[in-house]
């Protein structure tokens, strides 16, 4: 039985990004008087990540626009920040965790919100002019190096998932020569299915991006001084020359520090439907793998809205204990801005779902598509049709049938 936390209990939040910040805010909004300590491995105060691949990368926004709070507003929450510190181990029996500087923090309640870490291709981490994009420092480095070269810059993006596609779209819109490389025959096919993935690929081809699909990367090589900065050796024997390379081949939940802690780890921190991972421990955001009550399956969701909503839910449930906690039952939602197209998705689609376009068309570049699994509506996708898309949220929330969704599309 997980008891409610007392009003003077100490809560430690590990992770100072969106999920961790929303969790800490919720604790204070519920008038919790105890200490709230937020541990973050970056030196920067909490900031918003979506603009890093868009407005910030393009130079349209400065750092002040991406911070979640002005410093004076953040101070009013009464949080104890430990920035630039990384959690290294956890002992759930002793209710304590150790930081990389040797500090040991005791807690009554713990919120794990460490997010995810970008994957590198073998042998590429630390190479000059080769980056992933997850942090503010990553974005600053990419923006700076592209700016050094100027209009002649050549960018190779490896991986045509949403981060890679957004980087490609942003940089192409800046006039940079972009090559987007994807191992799969169709971009985003594992998420959106073949037809909608091909529609996303067309956005890039139509704006002058060189999109290479169905071929992997063999290795990267830093070229000799005076030559092309980076050479990308493809699996088919061809080579791409680049001034900057961005790798966007997915992320892994940041759970290494939790090994041996007693928490169950399986592609994230395994939680129940109320986000509890153990007595006094909840998880939220990209790192949480929880039992979704409506879907009756374990899911891990890497979307901004899940981090925001999950942080609030995890904090509320931790304070309330078992009796007062509520199942976390969101309708997942994400968006991606690419060129003039806003791509938005409700629900959790699968690559084998049946897809029916119910408004607009791929050719028009404006559409709504529904995803069917069995007799149920599983997801809804829109290209630049936000108003029509949001009409399906309530249907997904109550587990509507696909026939109900079709009827809605005709109403």
Average pLDDT of the segment spanning 193-205: 95
Higher-scoring residue by pLDDT: 366, 227 = 366
Domain with residue 203: its CATH number is 3.50.50.60
Residue 2 lies in a domain: no
Residue 109 lies in a domain: yes
Looking at residue 223, what is its pLDDT? 77
Domain with residue 403: its CATH number is 3.30.390.30
Percent of the chain at pLDDT > 90 equals 92
* Whether the predicted pLDDT of 1 surpasses 70: no
| Same domain membership, residue 379 and residue 285 | no
Average pLDDT of the segment spanning 300-306: 96
pTM, to two decimals: 0.96
pLDDT one-digit tens code per residue, 66-81: 998 877 778 888 999 9
| Same domain membership, residue 358 and residue 276 | no
Percent of the chain at pLDDT > 70 equals 99
* Count of domains observed in the chain: 3
Looking at residue 47, what is its pLDDT? 96
| Same domain membership, residue 241 and residue 138 | yes
| Same domain membership, residue 84 and residue 149 | no
| Same domain membership, residue 215 and residue 133 | yes
Whether 372 contacts 378, CB under 8 Å: yes
| Same domain membership, residue 193 and residue 99 | no
Residue 290 lies in a domain: yes
| Same domain membership, residue 54 and residue 152 | no
pLDDT one-digit tens code per residue, 330-341: 999 999 999 999
| Same domain membership, residue 231 and residue 133 | yes
Average pLDDT of the segment spanning 174-188: 96
Looking at residue 239, what is its pLDDT? 95
| Same domain membership, residue 244 and residue 391 | no
Q: Pick the last residue of a domain from 249, 264, 289.
A: 249
| Same domain membership, residue 241 and residue 129 | yes
Looking at residue 2, what is its pLDDT? 81
* Whether the predicted pLDDT of 225 surpasses 80: no
Phi, psi of 388 (to 5 degrees): -65, -40
Q: Pick the last residue of a domain from 300, 324, 348.
A: 324
| Same domain membership, residue 129 and residue 232 | yes
Average pLDDT of the segment spanning 207-231: 90
Q: Pick the last residue of a domain from 249, 270, 293.
A: 249
Residue 333 lies in a domain: no
* Whether the predicted pLDDT of 323 surpasses 90: no
Residue 358 lies in a domain: yes
| Same domain membership, residue 270 and residue 354 | no
Residue 311 lies in a domain: yes
Name the pairing type of β-strands 281-283 and 297-299.
unpaired
* Whether the predicted pLDDT of 140 surpasses 70: yes
Q: What is the C-alpha separation between 39 and 100, in angstroms, rounded?
A: 11
* Whether the predicted pLDDT of 279 surpasses 80: yes
Residue 379 lies in a domain: yes
* Whether the predicted pLDDT of 265 surpasses 80: yes
Residue 3 lies in a domain: no
Structural domain boundaries enclosing 225: 120-249
Per mean pLDDT, which range of 2-6, 313-317, 377-381 is the poorest?
A: 2-6
**What's the whole-number average pLDDT of the chain?**
95
């Amino acid at each position: 039985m997980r008891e409610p936390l007392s009003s003077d209990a100490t809560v430690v939040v590990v992770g100072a990004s969106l999920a961790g910040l929303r969790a800490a805010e919720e604790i204070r909004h519920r008038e919790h008087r105890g200490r709230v300590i937020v541990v973050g491995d970056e030196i920067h105060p909490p900031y918003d990540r979506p603009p890093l691949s868009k407005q910030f990368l393009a130079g349209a926004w400065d750092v002040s626009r991406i911070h979640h709070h002005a410093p004076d507003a953040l101070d009013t929450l009464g949080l104890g920040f430990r920035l630039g510190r990384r959690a290294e181990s956890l002992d759930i029996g002793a209710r304590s965790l150790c930081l990389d500087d040797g500090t040991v923090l005791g807690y009554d309640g713990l919120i794990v919100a460490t997010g995810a870490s970008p994957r590198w291709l073998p042998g590429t981490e630390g190479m000059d002019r080769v980056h992933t994009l997850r942090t503010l420092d990553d974005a600053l480095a990419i923006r700076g190096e592209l700016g050094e070269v100027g209009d002649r810059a050549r960018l190779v993006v490896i991986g045509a998932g949403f981060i890679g596609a957004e980087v490609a779209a942003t940089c192409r819109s800046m006039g940079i020569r972009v090559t987007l490389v994807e191992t799969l025959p169709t971009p985003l096919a594992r998420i959106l299915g073949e037809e909608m993935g091909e529609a996303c690929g067309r956005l890039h081809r139509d704006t002058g991006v060189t999109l290479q699909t169905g071929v992997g990367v063999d290795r990267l090589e830093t070229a000799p001084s005076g030559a092309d900065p980076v050479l990308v050796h493809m699996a088919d024997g061809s080579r791409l020359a680049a001034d900057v390379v961005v790798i966007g081949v997915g992320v892994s939940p940041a759970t290494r520090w939790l090994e041996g802690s007693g928490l169950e780890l399986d592609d994230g921190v395994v939680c129940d439907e109320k986000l509890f991972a153990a007595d006094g421990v909840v998880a939220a955001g990209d790192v949480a793998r929880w039992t979704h009550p409506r879907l009756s399956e374990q899911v891990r969701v890497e979307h901004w809205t899940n981090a925001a909503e999950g942080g609030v839910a995890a904090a509320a449930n931790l304070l309330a204990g078992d009796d007062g906690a509520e199942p976390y039952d969101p309708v997942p939602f994400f968006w991606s801005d690419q060129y003039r197209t806003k791509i938005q998705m409700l629900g959790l689609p699968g690559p084998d779902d049946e897809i029916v376009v119910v408004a607009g068309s791929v050719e028009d570049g404006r559409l709504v598509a529904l995803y069917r699994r069995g007799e149920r509506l599983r997801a809804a996708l829109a290209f630049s049709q936000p108003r029509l898309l949001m009409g399906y949220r309530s249907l997904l929330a109550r587990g509507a049938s696909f026939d109900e969704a079709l009827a809605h599309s005709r109403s």
